[in-house]
Structure 1
Amino acid sequence: MDLHPLPNHQNSRSQSSAGGEYQLPRMARLKQQFQRPQEPDLRQAVFRELAALHLEKKIAPGQTVAITAGSRGISGIDVIIKGVVEFIQSLDGLPFIIPAMGSHGGATAEGQLAVLAGYGITPATMGCEIRSSMATSVVGETMDGIPIHVDQHALAADHVLVVNRIKPHTGFVGEIESGLHKMLLIGLGKHLGATVYHQAIVRSSFRKIWQEVAPIVISKAKVLAGLGIVENAFDETALIAGVPVEEFAEKEAELLKLAKAYLPRLPFREIDLLIVDQIGKNISGTGMDTNIVGRKYNDHAATPQDDVSIRRIFVRGLTAATHGNATGIGIAEFTNHRTVASIDREITQINCVTASHPTGAMIPASYQTDRQAIQEALKTIGWVPPHLAKVIQIRDTLHLGELLVSEAFAPELIKHDQIQQMTDWEEMEFDQDDNLRDLLPGE
């Protein structure tokens, strides 16, 4: 690429008295094609998978079954959890729901109820109790003396049924990442358990911790079975799988391979600036999925293990469902004042410190307008004229089916037969306040 002095376009629509007069890149909308397997009927899939486990042989009439419900924005989670409730009731069992979360919801029982309510999971909609408490009991310890915490409501139940989405974790690497085992440890461990496990992982590994902790939790909490959820690249339920408790490790590893295959991807590896319309806990544990943005091993630089290399990230806002939890904002280098103003710093810091990831709560360079943030970001990508910068705008890391890319990617488009260019190259679209238009309709 030939480099030239920064152009001075007197009549450019991208001029700004605050940031100097130069031309920003032109953008076009692309549509990506991904695999799209999908469960056509979530309730039917839940009944199908749980029936195959023959739970009627394990649940006696009148026995209680605690069902885990986490804080992630799992597609159709209200329908799935209600399906589990109704299946248990069909066996004359007495189901109730546990908010199985570590520090989410501000690490309070009320806050975690509010998180579930935001997903449509309430006693009225589910037809059963939700028992929320941060109280745990220590049921054992690891070889290194790490106490094993389990939610007291779970321990009081006759059985526990673990429900969670299985997907690549934003920090852990291995045959088991985010899924049933994480729910056994971090979810059922609540804030106390999540804190000690994350502290232990800093000097050990998630694999070593789950191998020691999971069998004890399964035994002491009388875990009945699991229900694993795998999503496709369009944030839809691709697969629901009933998992016998004795096959948790084997089956979860198999489902993780599927989840990785279905994971959406950015279409190009080398990116100067990624503009993210929204981040949030309902999008990813780190607000934006580090598997997507290439910051899994280092908050601010790609490593050889990452699939994508992004020099700068600009976050434009938080999702409504994250309730001010801006965990992961520190992975970005740039943001705007309105995003900073919407952050609940206490909740964000509790979450990041619990996860032993304090840098995830750090506030990036912040500007009054999106135009200013973009202009300042493009000053830091190296000696490249702004209009030749490789820029991508996405809604969030769950929705990559449509995205905006800059004209510098034009030569690479011909190499991708799974990408359709939907519009011509056009100037970046700002509103009257110099803020970008959202890529897609919000929540």
Structure 2
Amino acid sequence: MQGPIPWIPVEQEIPSPRLADPAEALRRALAQAPPPPRGPVAVPVGSRHIPGLPDLVAELVAHLREAGADPVVVPAMGTHGGATAEGQARTLAGMGITPEAVGAPVVSRPEVVCLGEAAPGLPVWCDRVAAEARAVVPLHRVKPHTAFRGVLESGPTKLLAVGLGKARSARAVHRYGPAQALPAVLRFWLESGRVPFGVALVPNGRGGVAELRVLEPGSWPREEHELLELSRRLAPRLPWDELDLLVVERIGKDVSGTGMDLHVIGMERRFPGCGATPRIRRIVALELTPASAGNANGVGYADVVTRRLAEHVDWPATYANCRATGFLEAARLPYVAENEDRAVEAALDSLAVEPGEVRAVRIRDTAHLDRFWVSPVLARDLPPGVHRICG
């Protein structure tokens, strides 16, 4: 790999329990699930990358159809996809969620309706297609959120609380306080009797699925919280508390809500003074994932980006996302360099560190930390569990 820094490939040992066949595991779990009602049943699907997502959605659709329901897939991604019906449909298609792949219509419409209040001042907004269905069965992965800590964070509950109501829900939940809003909205949905079950899974750090469960109303909050704690234990991290430079090859909404997972790049980027590690002096981001459809929310947490990345940003979509969350700094445009080498050189110049002395790491993205590259200084004294790749 050419450039200002002579990168050295390494591999990190990370805990990676793995289901051999997630679709088969889902099939077995669904055999014990409560029956859905006959008639239209909405299957909300979000915008995050989930290993084997089309196969899992297809398995859920087949189960619902066999039980006498008429499933329809709807996007549940808040302000993602430019907060438009067309953009959200493109986002799903980009993840392989098409009628042909999942065996059901994929319907994306802009209208939302208010179903009521989960608490005073906390309206529950819902996609009109899902609101008119007999039931809603969400499928989503469970991970720690990048902006708050709570009993429930990113998971099927967040699809119900934020994703289904598009920009309206995103604004309402973030203004109310997500840690308090998510349990309240989940109670609202479960008490309505319109959510017979949900599907939750935990990705591992190597592109597989570690755990998968069907969540039933009586045990849903407890089980989703258990999966959150498992996800927290399995989430890969960089094995250094202090770095001069981190080069991120790609950022995007399919990787993290903030483009780069703040648990990986350092919560100090969003909450200065919080004392969390790692502390990284400079971050360079090289490109935006195609699945982001131009939504570069989180680009403001980088210090330098390439012109290629900057030119692919859809600013209205990015602004819609950051306005809904309230973190306007996430949409700031960093220093723009002409290409990758110039971007790294700009970061090095600002650090006043020679390439041969810089403590630097290069990663594909913040969801893939099993293999990455390090600078020679770090390679001379690798921490336990990190090994050079030979050959």
TM over 0.5: yes
Task: Answer with 1 or 2: which has the greater Rg.
Answer: 1
Q: Tell whether the 8 Å contact from 2:8 to 2:379 is kept in structure 1 after alignment.
A: no
The C-alpha deviation readout for 1:354-378, integer Å capped at 9, x for no partner, is 2212211111001113222222212
Q: Which amino acid aligns with 2:378?
A: F
Identity %: 33
**How far is the alpha carbon of 1:164 from its aligned partner?**
0.7
**How far is the alpha carbon of 1:285 from its aligned partner?**
0.7
Give secondary structure in 2 for the equivalent of 1:181.
helix
**How far is the alpha carbon of 1:292 from its aligned partner?**
0.9
Q: In the aligned structure 2, how far is the partner of 1:173 from the partner of 1:38?
A: 26
Structure 1 pair 419/228, CA: closer, same or farther in 2 (3 Å)? Answer: same
Structure 1 pair 302/409, CA: closer, same or farther in 2 (3 Å)? Answer: farther
Q: Tell whether the 8 Å contact from 2:121 to 2:176 is kept in structure 1 after alignment.
A: no
1:397 aligns to 2:373 (yes or no):
no
Q: In the aligned structure 2, how far is the partner of 1:368 from the partner of 1:300?
A: 30
Partner of 2:82: 106
In the alignment, which of 283, 286, 289 is matched to residue 261 of structure 2?
289
Q: How does 1:193-212 map to 2 (within 5 A)?
A: 193-201=169-177, 206-212=178-184
**How far is the alpha carbon of 1:258 from its aligned partner?**
0.9
Q: Tell whether the 8 Å contact from 2:251 to 2:259 is kept in structure 1 after alignment.
A: yes
**How far is the alpha carbon of 1:293 from its aligned partner?**
0.9
Give secondary structure in 2 for the equivalent of 1:281.
coil
Partner of 1:49: 29
**How far is the alpha carbon of 1:250 from its aligned partner?**
0.4
**How far is the alpha carbon of 1:143 from its aligned partner?**
4.2
Structure 1 pair 142/47, CA: closer, same or farther in 2 (3 Å)? Answer: closer
Q: How does 1:36-435 map to 2 (within 5 A)?
A: 36-53=16-33, 55-56=34-35, 59-60=36-37, 62-201=38-177, 206-220=178-192, 222-294=194-266, 296-299=267-270, 303-304=274-275, 306-381=276-351, 384-413=353-382, 415-416=383-384, 418-423=385-390
Unaligned runs of 5+ in 1: 1-12, 15-23, 425-443
Q: Tell whether the 8 Å contact from 1:317 to 1:338 is kept in structure 2 after alignment.
A: yes
Q: In the aligned structure 2, how far is the partner of 1:232 from the partner of 1:299?
A: 25
Q: Tell whether the 8 Å contact from 1:302 to 1:309 is kept in structure 2 after alignment.
A: no
Q: Which amino acid aligns with 1:29?
A: P
Q: Tell whether the 8 Å contact from 1:68 to 1:100 is kept in structure 2 after alignment.
A: yes
**How far is the alpha carbon of 1:175 from its aligned partner?**
2.5
Give secondary structure in 2 for the equivalent of 1:277.
strand
Give secondary structure in 2 for the equivalent of 1:335.
strand
Question: How many residue pairs are counted as aligned between the two chains?
Answer: 390
**How far is the alpha carbon of 1:307 from its aligned partner?**
3.2
TM-score by length of 2: 0.94
The C-alpha deviation readout for 1:54-84, integer Å capped at 9, x for no partner, is x23xx35x43221111111111111110000
**How far is the alpha carbon of 1:243 from its aligned partner?**
0.8
Query: How well do the aligned residues superpose, as a CA RMSD in angstroms?
Result: 2.0
Q: Which amino acid aligns with 1:333?
A: D
Q: Which amino acid aligns with 1:110?
A: E
TM-score by length of 1: 0.83
Partner of 1:436: none
Q: In the aligned structure 2, how far is the partner of 1:85 from the partner of 1:222?
A: 17
